[in-house]
Amino acid sequence: MISLYFDITPKAKQSFRMGKHSYQSKAVTDYQKAITAMALAQITQDMRSLSGDLYVSVEFVWEHPKSWGKKRIAELRERCIYKPSRPDIDNLCKGIFDPLNGVIWNDDSQIVAVHAWKRYGYNDAIIMRVWETKELTNNMRL
């Protein structure tokens, strides 16, 4: 298993088509470069470019709103408070999976199962775990 922690505000991958060409904003490009750099800093050479089928768990965390009271903030210690608003979770996954092509895995098409969720916390972050499916025990069914 590979565990990664990205100290960054989660962003959705948004691309726009202009005629025959796709366009990504500078903010998205910079975000993807930061994800790649942070991943490379956390893994060793032998963890790079996994080649098998992969299971990925990814948690997108946003700092709680400033408007929350002390009681609501204290709830974060007791339970998970999900973030049911935008950005969409599929676009968040695209925003983190694409920059890891050639870093953690050869291509994100190797991912055969994903568990992803959005929640509030004390700091912005992305927490990701990656397993090769052969590592999983028979007790853990996908």
The model's pTM: 0.89
- Residue 139 pLDDT > 60, yes or no? no
Q: Report residue 33 as tokens.
A: 């470069």
Query: pLDDT digit string (tens) for 33-47?
Result: 999 999 999 999 989
- Residue 96 pLDDT > 80, yes or no? yes
Q: What is the predicted pLDDT for the residue at 15?
A: 67
For residue 116, the cross-strand partners are 58
More confident site: 135 or 102: 102
More confident site: 116 or 133: 116
Q: What is the mean pLDDT of residues 66-93?
A: 95
More confident site: 70 or 134: 70
Give the other-Cβ count within 10 Å of 46's Cβ. 6
Q: What is the mean pLDDT of residues 134-138?
A: 71
The DSSP result for 28-83, as a single string, is HHHHHHHHHHHHHHH--GGGSSB-S-EEEEEEEEEEPPTT--HHHHHHHHHS--B-
- Amino acid in position 30: D
